Amino acid sequence: MSSNPPIKHHFIAQFLLAAWGDADGKLWRFTNPWMDNLAAKHVAPAELGYEKYLYTTPDEPPERAQQIEQVLMARLDDRAATAHQMLLDGDIAGMGRRERSAWSRFIMSLWFRTPDGVRGLKDATAALLGIDDTQFAKAYQARRQPGYPATWAEAVAKMGPHLADRAAMHVLRQQVDNPTNGQRLNDMHWAVLDIDGPRDLMVSDAVLAQTGAIFGPEGYLTMPISPRQLFFAARSRARLDAFKGLAPATIVKLINHAVVRRARNFVGATVRSEIDFVRANFASDLRPGLPEQLARQYQAVAA
């Protein structure tokens, strides 16, 4: 692990963003930084989809504080990049268990690794640790040793103000490598749709779109993997075939609306001329992700 840890922690992998790059390797970045004044800039992939020190684990020594970014995310994205190239090449049939699992882990990471996802995890763990009748409290009493604090709440207080943040990073690590959900994703029907039309697909921090019950009989998810290619996974072959039957222009319209309307941080495109569409739709349909939903649930119980 590097002794000079990175400042920028990318929540959208650079290998994915690079697919939107032009001959100079750059794409158009649209952000909404000040009073609804949409900003457009031609940038390299390294200049979007990141937040400084996003995955830093507090109260850890310097050589361990950046392990989520330097070890977990670096390895995950490196392996997913290989799978991504196979998808771009139309070689789903050639993907072995290693490559397929790498892509599934990348998908699972997108459920949690964005700034709002990380904040949601921290809020959820903080609320959970504050509920005195949880399984943690019961387990603590069953295992409490002489000299330990009398209650779980007292033990939590003694472990310092950053316990919830440290626990959230542990949960993040577990969830991006969840073997049950990973296998479920591996078992879905996968396809890459080639889009031929006058308009490109766009990318954002909300690049992944899916049904609520992703693992239900009608569950599916989509992800643009290049300006002209869309990854699609479905629980049923019929759902996959129905989507593939849509006109390319319809697919682009549906996906771009989803990608832009749910974006919180940025939108990426191949051309600046998408600025009016982005301005009209940016962050207009924000929805809480799984970590945010859990945070609200636990906060309601703790109240």
Can you spell out the DSSP letters for 62-83? HHHHTHIIIIIIHHHHHHHHHH
What is the rounded average pLDDT of the residues 244-249? 94
Residue percentage of the chain with pLDDT more than 70: 95
At a CB cut-off of 8 Å and minimum separation 6, what does 74 contact? none
Note the pLDDT of residue 302.
63
Q: Chain-wide mean pLDDT for the chain?
A: 90
Distances (CA, A) of 295 to 46, 123, 140: 30, 5, 22
Reading the block at residue 85, the tokens are 């190239």
Q: What is the pLDDT of residues 33-43, one digit of tens each?
A: 776 789 999 99
The order of strands in the sheet holding 27-34 is 37-43, 27-34, 267-269, 203-204
What is the rounded distance in angstroms from the CA atom of residue 184 to the CA atom of residue 226?
A: 24
Q: How confident is the model at residue 218 (pLDDT cuts 50, 70, 90)?
A: very high
Backbone dihedral angles phi then psi of residue 58, each to the nearest 5 degrees: -70, 155
Note the pLDDT of residue 93.
94
pLDDT of 238 above 70: yes
CA 215 to chain centre: 17
Amino acid at 7: I
Q: What is the pLDDT of residues 1-11, one digit of tens each?
A: 455 678 899 99
At a CB cut-off of 8 Å and minimum separation 6, what does 51 contact? 8, 9, 11, 115
Q: What is the pLDDT of residues 257-295, one digit of tens each?
A: 999 999 999 999 999 999 999 999 999 999 888 888 877
CA 98 to chain centre: 20
pLDDT of 224 above 70: yes
Residue percentage of the chain with pLDDT more than 90: 63
Q: What is the pLDDT of residues 47-71, one digit of tens each?
A: 999 999 999 888 777 777 888 888 8
Note the pLDDT of residue 152.
73
Q: What is the pLDDT of residues 116-140, one digit of tens each?
A: 999 999 888 888 777 766 677 788 7
Note the pLDDT of residue 4.
67
Cα maximum dimension of the chain: 71
pLDDT of 165 above 70: yes
What is the rounded average pLDDT of the residues 72-94? 96
